[in-house]
Amino acid sequence: MAVSRRDGGVGQDVLRRVGEASALILISLADGPKHGYALIQDIKELAGVELGPGTLYGALDRLERLGLIDPLPTEDRRHPYRITAPGAAALRVHLDSLERVSAAGRLRLRLGGI
């Protein structure tokens, strides 16, 4: 999947449309392939979010359809997934976008004296 560019060279944030679970899965896969149970445990640790198994599989299928992750050969009965190059690019764009919003929010809080 190509991560297209909009005006001003800012990449389009495709992850904004696919939901928080998908972004968390990509973040979890960024340091190496994982299967479902490992993903749930890792996301619980890194973000304090307990992904339901139904949500997990829905998000995995969506990310795979978008070409952002790839299934690896099955180990036992488990399907590990890895992040693809377009997935990594989409994650970078998403994290950049979050950082911009976060910085703007902090600045406004300072300006507002809150």
Partner 1 sequence: MDADRATRLIETVLRCYPARWRHRHGEEAAELAALLMRDGTPAGSVAWSYLAGAAREWLTPRPGRHLTAVACALLVAACSLGVSAGLLASAAPARAASTSQARGRAHCRPGSPGPVPGVTPATGRPQVIIWEAGHGRSC
Q: Which of 58, 72, 82, 86: binder of partner 1 (CB under 8 A)?
A: 58
Q: Is 91 in a helix, a strand, or coil?
A: helix
CA of 66: how far to CAs of 46, 82, 87, in Å?
24, 13, 9
Question: Stretches 5-13, 18-26, 53-61, 102-110: which one binds partner 1 (CB under 8 A)?
Answer: 53-61
19 binds partner 1 (CB under 8 A): no
Residue 37 CB, nearest approach to partner 1 (Å): 5
36 binds partner 1 (CB under 8 A): yes
73 binds partner 1 (CB under 8 A): no
79 binds partner 1 (CB under 8 A): yes
**Cβ(34)–Cβ(80) below 8 Å:** yes
Residue 36 phi, psi dihedral angles, 5° rounding: -50, -55
Rg (CA), the chain: 16
The binding site for partner 1 (CB under 8 A) comprises 35-37, 40, 50, 52-58, 61, 77-79
